[in-house]
Chain A
Amino acid sequence: SQKIEQNSEALNIQEGKTATLTCNYTNYSPAYLQWYRQDPGRGPVFLLLIRENEKEKRKERLKVTFDTTLKQSLFHITASQPADSATYLCALNQAGTALIFGKGTTLSVSS
């Protein structure tokens, strides 16, 4: 079955730097990948979706890449701010409707 791994449980960076989070998957390439943000005590909030035929997607300071050869997606936050501190979840489609989620990477941005 499809497995999804987010390599780092925690990532600590300085304000103003670029944060890069990794999402790897096994087996078949999904049609798309999604990234969500989750704050403590809250539900996940959708950020970006990237399809298998897209190499890169941007939204303001966020950038997502999708490499089907490496079976990997990278999530970048440029000019990071303390307000970006949260847990970021990667998700991809399994057969049909279901999404499977990674365990998440907790980002801490210090000023």
Chain B
Amino acid sequence: NAGVTQTPKFRILKIGQSMTLQCTQDMNHNYMYWYRQDPGMGLKLIYYSVGAGITDKGEVPNGYNVSRSTTEDFPLRLELAAPSQTSVYFCASNDRDAMDQPQHFGDGTRLSIL
């Protein structure tokens, strides 16, 4: 099993550009999450999904959008990139509610906005 796969691994964007960070998992997990991790800071939840067609905001959703059309995929969209969105983005998944199951993480997308 590949687990959680994120693409691209690195990206540099100009201010105002848009892009989609891809995340796919092959574990048939219902729950998926997007986090950002800034240097010296903990992971902050951006959006999450409890199943196909269902998404909800996390702690820091502004400037991002998500969709969940299939169980496997959970892309994160940046519409108008800003320097404050320079960060490392992690996608994670688990089988059901986080109270019962640990989360499986991808290796991240390192995004710089200049």
C-alpha gap A97/B40 in the complex (Å): 24
For B97, give its contact among A34, A49, A97, A100 (CB under 8 Å): A97
Asked whether B48 is an interface residue with its Cβ less than 8 Å from the other chain, the reply is yes
Q: Interface size on B (CB < 8 Å)?
A: 24
Q: Which residue of B lies closest to A6 (CB)?
A: B42
Contact present for A42 and B45 (CB under 8 Å): no
Contact present for A46 and B103 (CB under 8 Å): yes
Contact present for B48 and A103 (CB under 8 Å): no
Q: Which residue of A lies closest to B110 (CB)?
A: A41
Taking CB atoms, residues of chain A closer than 8 Å to B45 are 98-100
C-alpha gap A98/B17 in the complex (Å): 30
C-alpha gap A97/B103 in the complex (Å): 11
Contact present for A45 and B105 (CB under 8 Å): yes
Contact present for B43 and A93 (CB under 8 Å): no
Contact present for B106 and A93 (CB under 8 Å): no
Asked whether A16 is an interface residue with its Cβ less than 8 Å from the other chain, the reply is no
User: How far apart are A6's CB and chain B's nearest CB, in angstroms?
Assistant: 8
Contact present for A49 and B58 (CB under 8 Å): no
Asked whether A32 is an interface residue with its Cβ less than 8 Å from the other chain, the reply is yes
Contact present for B41 and A98 (CB under 8 Å): no
C-alpha gap A101/B44 in the complex (Å): 8
User: How far apart are A103's CB and chain B's nearest CB, in angstroms?
Assistant: 5
User: How far apart are A43's CB and chain B's nearest CB, in angstroms?
Assistant: 3
Q: Which residue of B lies closest to A30 (CB)?
A: B99
C-alpha gap A41/B105 in the complex (Å): 12
Contact present for B48 and A97 (CB under 8 Å): yes
Taking CB atoms, residues of chain A closer than 8 Å to B4 are 43
9 nearest interchain CB pairs?
A: A43-B105, A46-B102, A101-B42, A101-B43, A103-B42, A43-B107, A44-B105, A97-B98, A99-B98
Q: List 18 A-B contacts (CB under 8 A).
A: A4-B42, A9-B40, A32-B99, A41-B108, A43-B92, A43-B106, A43-B108, A44-B105, A46-B104, A97-B97, A97-B99, A98-B48, A99-B45, A99-B103, A101-B42, A101-B43, A103-B40, A103-B41
Interface residues of A (CB under 8 A from B): 4, 9, 31-32, 34, 41-46, 49, 89, 93, 96-104
